[in-house]
């Protein structure tokens, strides 16, 4: 019997679901930060749009890769070998660090 990716695992802890939820919380935090950056626009000028754009692009990237991430986790559990998504973690960490640096520049320099 063929299995689909969505019902490919029988993990009682629902690991793929927890992983997708944590990425969803990260995406929500980035959207919240983007909204806060827009509030800075009248005070700090158009440079804030770079912060907004980076936060929104990172959130969209997370959203766009959610289904593939869930499928990979489900298949990995079925095969009893799950590879970590190191690229997504590193890219998100770099984006958040860049947001921090750009935010400091915005507040302290501009």
For residues 30 and 53, what is the distance between their CA atoms, to the nearest angstrom?
A: 11
What DSSP element (H or E) covers 108? Answer: helix 86-108
Domain ranges of the chain: 13-108
For residues 110 and 5, what is the distance between their CA atoms, to the nearest angstrom?
A: 49
Q: Identify the pLDDT of residue 1.
A: 44
Q: Identify the pLDDT of residue 7.
A: 56
- C-alpha distances in angstroms, 54 versus 25, 48, 50, 86, 98? 17, 10, 6, 20, 9
Q: Identify the pLDDT of residue 21.
A: 86
Per-residue pLDDT of the chain (110 residues; tens, 9 = 90+): 445 545 555 655 567 778 888 889 999 999 999 999 999 999 988 999 999 999 999 999 999 988 888 888 778 777 777 788 889 889 999 999 999 999 899 888 87
- Which tokens go with 37? 């950056």
DSSP 6: G
């Amino acid at each position: 019997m063929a299995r689909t990716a969505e019902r490919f695992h029988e993990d009682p802890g629902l690991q793929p679901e927890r992983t997708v939820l944590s990425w969803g919380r990260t995406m929500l935090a980035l959207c919240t930060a983007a909204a806060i950056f827009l509030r800075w626009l009248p005070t700090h000028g158009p440079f804030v749009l770079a912060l907004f754009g980076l936060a929104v692009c990172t959130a969209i990237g997370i959203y766009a890769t959610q289904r593939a991430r869930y499928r990979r986790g489900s298949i990995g559990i079925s095969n009893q070998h799950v590879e970590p998504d190191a690229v997504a973690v590193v890219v998100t960490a770099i984006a958040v660090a860049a947001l921090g640096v750009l935010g400091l520049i915005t507040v302290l320099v501009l």
